[in-house]
Amino acid sequence: MGFNCRIPRVKPLLTKKQREKRLTWAKEKKSWTAAEWSKVMFSDESKFCISFGNRGPRVWRRTGEAQDPRCLKSSVKFPPSVMVWGAMSSAGVGPLCFLRSRVNAAVYQQVLEHFMLPAADLLYGDGDFKFQQDLAPAHSAKSTRAWFTDHGISVLNWPANSPDLSPIENLWGIVKRKMQNARPKNAEELKATIRATWALITPEQCQKLMDSMPCRINAVIEAKGAPTKY
């Protein structure tokens, strides 16, 4: 009948109010030009885990091969991992920050001070820019908002639960795919691998991702605020 069995994609659960806000945001930004988007610095945190195998969700095997080591996927309850903060614009990527503790408002402001500001100098020089971040509690805390005001940083308004609108989410995906054959043995080797892979990201790749912003916005409008394919 034309049906195929597939693993469902995972998307954030959106409330009716969140969908409405996404739609309103997309309509407001629909007229933005490439020049306007080039002035936005996108930021995000991502978790990287040490991989103990390269098996996907499915494996080809014959009858009787269920226990063959070649057909097994290893499972580790608590694999070593690191959390990373990064930023990008159409001009390229900024320096990475490896987060050592739970990110509260105070920790996040240290990240902004020591990594976001240098990234802004690298990517924009003396030019104006808008800073993008999601609505995590540390990001939207009163003291963090005061930090942005004190430093004269303009923050782009952002709808909740909207990773499909942020090109840096796709950049993390690119980095992780480039790392899929790497086999770091511990957290320090994992960090070194992430740094080396991040350094390979080109301004052209970033520009291509930034060029997708009009399509992302149109997709949100067509979906009436619901999750999109991005």
- pLDDT-derived band at 97 (thresholds 50, 70, 90) equals very high
- pLDDT-derived band at 59 (thresholds 50, 70, 90) equals confident
Do the Cβ atoms of 111 and 80 come closer than 8 Å?
no
**Coil, strand or helix at 171:** helix
Query: In this predicted structure, what is the pLDDT of residue 82?
Result: 95
- pLDDT-derived band at 115 (thresholds 50, 70, 90) equals very high
Sign of CA dihedral 159, 164, 170, 176: positive
Query: In this predicted structure, what is the pLDDT of residue 76?
Result: 61
Do the Cβ atoms of 136 and 104 come closer than 8 Å?
no
Residue entry with tokens 């104006």 = 128
Flag the least confident range among 29-33, 80-84, 152-156, 192-196: 80-84
Query: In this predicted structure, what is the pLDDT of residue 52?
Result: 55
Query: In this predicted structure, what is the pLDDT of residue 78?
Result: 65
**Which parts of the chain fold into alpha helices (H)?**
16-29, 34-37, 105-111, 117-124, 137-140, 142-150, 167-178, 187-198, 203-210, 213-222
Do the Cβ atoms of 109 and 115 come closer than 8 Å?
no
Do the Cβ atoms of 167 and 68 come closer than 8 Å?
no
| Predicted confidence (pLDDT) at residue 77 exceeds the cutoff of 70 | no
Query: What integer best gives the mean pLDDT of the chain?
Result: 92
Query: In this predicted structure, what is the pLDDT of residue 162?
Result: 97
Query: In this predicted structure, what is the pLDDT of residue 169?
Result: 97
In this prediction, residues 16-32 reach a mean pLDDT of 98
- What token pair was written down for 134? 């999601």
Q: In the CATH hierarchy, which fold is given to the domain comprising 35-48+78-222?
A: Nucleotidyltransferase; domain 5 (3.30.420)
Do the Cβ atoms of 196 and 114 come closer than 8 Å?
no
pLDDT in tens, 136-183: 999 999 999 999 999 999 999 999 999 999 999 999 999 999 998 888
Query: In this predicted structure, what is the pLDDT of residue 168?
Result: 98
Every domain of the chain and the residues it spans: 35-48+78-222
